[in-house]
Structure 1
Amino acid sequence: MLRVVNRVLLGLAGLALLCAGAAVLVPGTGLSVPSWWPYYGPRDVLLSAADRDRWRDESWWWPTVIAVLAVAVLLALWWLFAQLRRSRLTEVLVDSGDGAGALLRGRALEDVMEGEAQALEGVARASVTLKGRRSTPEARVNLLLEPHVAPGEALTRLTDEAVGQARESAGLAALPAEVRLRAAKHGAQRVS
């Protein structure tokens, strides 16, 4: 989601800057422009004195300017904090039975899940990343499968063993997992 927002914001900012630059550059080079163009020639200024003073005496002008700038600042801060937010879950809330709960390091749970996933038959390599909230974590699992393994069987074993045991041991109601499977490259086998 954040990648899409970043791309849309960058695209809109680039398009706005390109249009503004073209609106100023085209008449500045001496090319003829249509009558509706905002600037007419190389000697035209971007904001004339009349344009700068036009709305100054209106009662709605300054509150509107301040509101628009405040919204722009809030959107910029939201975007900045979204960039700085960690994508990896640092701790998981485990139900300890006493009502208070305990915190489990997210990296420790990831390491255990990786170890169990790599111990499965036919898995060459595994990596696990926990995302989401500490009370409702989600796992992103990447598996590199050996050539002879059926992907459906590997996925079933991963769900039953590695993810299921992690869910039960952490006392979680659910542990959704997004699994990406890739096959390891192998050389051709010779038949004699």
Structure 2
Amino acid sequence: MSTRSTAAVARSARAERVLTGGAGVLAILLGAGALVLGLGWLGTGRAARPVLDPMIRDWLLANRPWVLGAGIALGVLVFVLGLRWVVRSLRPESRPDLRIDGAGPGRVTITAAAFAEAVRTDAARVTGVSRAQARLVGSTERPALRVQLWLAEGTDVRAVWQQLDETVLGRARESLGVDALPTAVRLELDSARRRRVR
């Protein structure tokens, strides 16, 4: 999968991964430091001493107003960043409207819902597809497409894929005037319809 196609697969979680990974690395380092200290590798009496060195403690007490101010500022900064992270994580994924024919009064805008519905209708007409869903995601500058297909039993997947790429996605790229449209396609076998026993 190319880097461009990642937007089609799922919402980017890079920030969440970096933050969680950083917190995990910090926790590992603190745990390893406590283990090294407790085992006495830094000296036999070091484990019995206070966690905060007396010199550092004296310096903090001597500069108490500055230390309190820096601590409060750091706390507020962490709170704001955490709040921003929560809001970003809970915000619904954007569905961009696409602009065609440049700018100005002659500009044409296609809504994300209309484009997705057109792709869904085309995909549902592919031989062997019983149901289809489509969703346009990403940004206006870099749109991506998610397509989910339910295949009837005994369908030739290779034929469905070829028809989808050439007809449905080809028409979508042509309508947008782009050479490439990152697309994630999910295929599922449609459950057999229940038959009534008479």
SS of the aligned residue for 2:97 comes to: strand
- Residue 157 (1) aligns with residue 163 (2): yes
CA distance in 2, matches of 1:94, 1:173: 16
* Structure 1 residue aligned with 2:16: 5
* Structure 1 residue aligned with 2:70: 64
CA distance in 2, matches of 1:37, 1:149: 71
* Structure 2 residue aligned with 1:182: 188
Q: 2:175 aligns with which of 169, 176, 179?
A: 169
Q: Which amino acid aligns with 1:176?
A: P
SS of the aligned residue for 1:129 comes to: strand
- The unaligned stretches of length 5 or more in structure 1 are 17-34, 39-50, 188-192
* Structure 1 residue aligned with 2:154: 148
* Structure 1 pair 143–68 and aligned structure 2 pair: CA distance change class (3 A): same
Task: Show CA shifts across 1:69-103 (max 9, x none).
Answer: 133123223213313432141x3333314568432
Contact 1:94–1:172 (CA<8 Å) still a contact in 2? no
* Structure 1 pair 3–123 and aligned structure 2 pair: CA distance change class (3 A): farther
Q: 2:126 aligns with which of 112, 120, 133?
A: 120
Contact 1:143–1:182 (CA<8 Å) still a contact in 2? yes
CA distance in 2, matches of 1:154, 1:37: 69
Q: 1:59-138 maps to which residues of 2 (within 5 A)?
A: 60-89=66-95, 91-97=96-102, 101-138=107-144
* Structure 1 pair 98–79 and aligned structure 2 pair: CA distance change class (3 A): closer
Contact 1:88–1:129 (CA<8 Å) still a contact in 2? no
In the superposition, the TM-score normalised over structure 1's length comes to 0.64
In the superposition, the TM-score normalised over structure 2's length comes to 0.62
CA distance in 2, matches of 1:97, 1:2: 32
Superposition CA RMSD, Å: 3.9
Structure with greater helix percent: 2
